[in-house]
Amino acid sequence: MEESTSRAEESHDASNVINNSDINVAAALRAQYAIVTPQISRRRHKKPTREEVEEPLIDNTKVLPLHSKKTERLQKRQHRKIQKAANAPADLTLTDLPSETLTEVFRWLRVADVFRMSRTCHTMMDLMLHHEKVISKDIISRRYWTLYRCFPLPVSFQNVPEEFHSGLLSEKRQELLNIHRKSYHQHIQMIDPREVCTCMTCVFAWNNLCLLIDLHHWQHNLANREPIPMIPRGTHPEWNQELLMKNAEIVRLAMRRPLYYAAILEQHLSTITGTILRFSKWKKKGAKAQPRLYNMTDQDVDAGTDEFLESKGPPSYDFPYHRDNYYSLEAYLPNRKFGADGRWHYYALPPTQHERDLEWVRSTLVSAVPPEQRRAQAMANLKDHNVRWSQYLERAQQTQA
Ligand SMILES: [Zn+2]
């Protein structure tokens, strides 16, 4: 038993030895061949950039010197070109021209173009303002000479000699002017006696210029057969008051700035040519073709001058007292009469007519003049004015009726 027990212990020890040796071998193997479990990173590995992978490039290229006859020729040509550009004067603009030349350019333009050109820069504006009188005079004499003689400018009150002031502002004189307030209030702003001379010539001149602007204002309606709004008698709508004030302001401006006066004449020429063309198109059915008023041609319209108005045509003795007259008004050209010699004669040319009227005012209204002398002067001057005043009052009364 003891022997078997000892064998069992031996076998047990032996098995222990084997087991222990196996364990040692496994440990040795584990140490030699370690199993590495790859750890998957949640972050993706960033791909290295090209700059990180590659070495930085160093540019060692150089311009190769060219040596050939063709290259030399090209280089010489380029050199000459650069030198020529360096020696050339700087780019010239219109404002570099002498002022005399620019003024001459202004003189040949239409008034609307003069305004446009003067708005391009300060230099042009200054030039226009400095030479406005000369430019306007040239434009009027070249383009609107007939209209200038039909529509003289009124004289401002401050330019009337002081000796006539009391006569012009007298109550009697203002009573005579009241007729305007009743007759023209719908399409003409009443003249202010402390602003504009109220001699007969200047009153007509003021009314005519205000009328031209108002007539031009309604050309769109007339051309498109749209009725002009009628104003019930005794009413004064706001839109009409504003229009009259605006028209009057332009006339006041024209009295100070000759270019604005020329602009009014230019506008009226446009009104006349447009109306004559319109009348020639709107013929009655079956009516024979008639030559246009003043034999106006298309070339006359394109020329932009009023020379054709010197041809024979109807006189304009009647002042348009109401906007109703605009529908049948083909060309309004007052203050002239066609003579037997085949020419138009103009009788309101400034300043003579204005001066004659002032003399009449003084002789009839200024109390400082002795009665006998006043009567004699009044009788002499009245011959010239009686006819005009009677016609004027008669027409005004007809309108009121
Ligand atoms: Zn006057």
3 assigned to some structural domain? no
Locate tokens 């992978």: which residue?
53
Cα 15 to ligand 1 centroid, rounded to whole Å: 152
pLDDT tens digits in sequence order for the chain, 401 residues long? 444 444 445 444 444 444 555 556 666 656 566 555 655 555 566 777 776 777 777 777 877 777 788 888 888 999 999 888 887 766 777 778 888 888 889 989 999 999 999 999 998 999 999 999 999 999 999 999 999 999 999 999 999 988 888 888 888 777 777 766 666 678 999 888 999 999 888 999 999 999 999 999 999 999 999 999 989 888 889 999 999 999 999 999 999 999 999 999 999 999 999 999 999 887 666 667 778 999 999 999 999 999 999 999 999 988 998 899 999 999 999 999 999 999 999 988 766 788 888 888 777 765 555 556 556 655 666 666 566 666 666 766 665 55
Cα 249 to ligand 1 centroid, rounded to whole Å: 18
If one counts the domains in the chain, the total is 1
Cα 168 to ligand 1 centroid, rounded to whole Å: 9
134 assigned to some structural domain? no
Cα separation of the two ends of the chain:
170
Omega within 30 of 0 (cis) for the link into 56? no
**CB burial of residue 120 (10 Å; 0-12, 13-18, 19+):** exposed
Cα 346 to ligand 1 centroid, rounded to whole Å: 17
Cα 71 to ligand 1 centroid, rounded to whole Å: 83
Cβ–Cβ under 8 Å, residues 195 and 156: yes
Cα 195 to ligand 1 centroid, rounded to whole Å: 11
By DSSP bridging, strand 344-346 and strand 336-338 are antiparallel
- Cα gap 384→382, rounded to integer Å: 5
- Cα gap 363→367, rounded to integer Å: 9
- Cα gap 237→247, rounded to integer Å: 16
Cα 177 to ligand 1 centroid, rounded to whole Å: 13
Cα 98 to ligand 1 centroid, rounded to whole Å: 40
31 assigned to some structural domain? no
Cα 153 to ligand 1 centroid, rounded to whole Å: 9
202 assigned to some structural domain? yes
Residue-level pLDDT at 11: 46
137 assigned to some structural domain? no
- Cα gap 210→245, rounded to integer Å: 10
Cα 244 to ligand 1 centroid, rounded to whole Å: 21
Q: What is the domain range of residue 314? A: 144-283+291-400
Cα 291 to ligand 1 centroid, rounded to whole Å: 39
- Cα gap 144→149, rounded to integer Å: 9
330 assigned to some structural domain? yes
Cα 161 to ligand 1 centroid, rounded to whole Å: 11
Cα 207 to ligand 1 centroid, rounded to whole Å: 13
**CB burial of residue 242 (10 Å; 0-12, 13-18, 19+):** exposed
Cα 169 to ligand 1 centroid, rounded to whole Å: 13
Cα 355 to ligand 1 centroid, rounded to whole Å: 7
